[in-house]
Amino acid sequence: MDREIYEYRARILKAMANPSRLMIMDTLSSGEKSVAALQEMIGSDISTVSKHLSVLKSAHIVIDRRSGAQVFYRLAVPCILDFFSCVNMVIQSDAEKSGRVASMIG
């Protein structure tokens, strides 16, 4: 088996596999945002947000653009979010089994 391709894919998934980073991606789906704007959404320290963004950038999930003192980030490949229509199926089948409410799906 070609291990390299799986390592590459894993790197991308790993970059996504964090609640704050998923929030960031979701926020960016409606257009580019500055670090400060994202920080307001997420609520953690701005240095933490900046590091999350650098993780997403290293994985080529977001692209940055400087404008004066601000840096704006946007999704490089918006289809990345389509994935969750399937993830939601996992959540759904789990929620049904455990009797949790459908509001989990969002």
- Token pair of 76 as six digits: 């490089």
Which residue, 3 or 85, has its beta carbon nearer to DNA? 3
Q: Are 2 and 13 in contact, with CB atoms under 8 Å apart?
A: no
CB 69 → a copy of itself: shortest distance, Å?
Answer: 26
- Token pair of 75 as six digits: 């999704």
**Could you give the 3-state DSSP secondary structure of residue 89?**
helix
Contact characters 21-60, DNA, x per CB under 7 A: -------------xxx--x----xxxxx-xxxxxx-----
Q: Are 21 and 38 in contact, with CB atoms under 8 Å apart?
A: no
List residues binding DNA (CB under 7 A). Answer: 14, 17-20, 34-36, 39, 44-48, 50-55, 64, 66, 68-71
